[in-house]
Amino acid sequence: MPPKSILLAATIAVLHPLMTATPTSHLVPKTQNPEPNPPLIVAHRGASADAPENTLPAFQLAWQQGADAIEGDFHLTRDRQIVCIHDDNTSAYSHKKLTVRKTKLADLQALDLLFPKFTTHSSPLTPYKIPTLAEVLATVPAGKKLYIEIKSSARIVRHLFATIDASGIDPDQLVIIAFSARVIKKIKSQRPSLKAMWLTDIRHRSKGAPLEPTPDQILHTLRRTGADGVSVYAHPHVDSAYFQPIHHAGYQLHVWTVDTPAEAQRWTDLGALSLTTNQPALLLQALKKTNKHQNKTK
């Protein structure tokens, strides 16, 4: 074979595996953050500084303000429907106290929820309704996300899956969060592709005591539940050394509740992939000024 032919054959032999190999771009580790330009701005119970929390107006306002995601609290009713409300009863929002798990959906939605903070002197109190998970899912635009905080026991999980499936939403638009390790474990064991984060409140149990849970305790829970990461309370004294083992193990870090630009900057520097906030408009404006965030919706 002439020298040029030999060189050409050798080149083809080297390039052929690269040209014919199966693309591997889809082989992404489950804990790798898929979003560019973090952190995501998550509206805590909707735009709750400007509208009644966990109501459809609060969620719609959050989308109007440009939030990347909304977060809501969800309970299971007596007739196995999933509703959006923070407490396990209605006493904080109504003159009538109904326990959610003991009450049917129709009776819960018959209530007029009152939020005096959002009442003007020139208008009467405006009644708001308890929305269902299905109604909240229907507000989520393409490219945006819903963080679903589960407040009920693990028996809600099969009803959660049924509601998600019936909605037709892309599962990649959903993040399940819960303080209950049992809930997270059940979700990840049955639908491992569904993103789920364990919630924990970092704190000192007594003056001078170390922060709890420790990083090792967090890692233990993440490993035994199969969670994709942890969402932590924005404790003012936590530092990068605390989160180093979690980052090193490949788990995601998310944080709640962050309401000032200074806090947002600090938690961005600590590696948080999302900031849950009552002030989405304020944080979006602040982070865009520092080029730490850009809206993903065209």
Map out the domains of the chain as residue ranges.
29-87+134-289
The single-letter DSSP state of residue 253 is E
Q: Of 189, 187, 155, 156, which is closest to residue 174 (Cα–Cα)?
A: 187
183 against 11, higher pLDDT: 183
**Cβ 155 vs Cβ 140: under 8 Å:** no
Percent of all residues in the chain with a pLDDT value above 90, rounded to a whole number: 76
33 against 197, higher pLDDT: 197
Residue 25 has pLDDT above 50, yes or no: no
34 against 113, higher pLDDT: 113
Q: Which residues contact 85 (CB under 8 A, 6 or more apart)?
A: 54, 73, 74, 75, 93, 100, 108, 130
- The mean pLDDT of the chain is 88
CATH architecture of 29-87+134-289: Alpha-Beta Barrel (3.20)
The pLDDT score that the predictor gives to residue 294 is 58
Distance CA 71, CA 69 (A): 7
Tens of pLDDT, residues 127-159 = 799 999 999 999 999 999 999 999 999 999 999
The residues pairing with 84 across neighbouring beta strands, listed in sequence order, are 74
Token reading at 208: 């001078």
State whether residue 97 is helix, strand or coil.
coil
Choice among 193-202, 220-229, 280-289 with the minimum mean pLDDT: 280-289
209 against 178, higher pLDDT: 178
pLDDT band at residue 15 using 50, 70 and 90 as cut-offs: very low
The pLDDT score that the predictor gives to residue 7 is 42
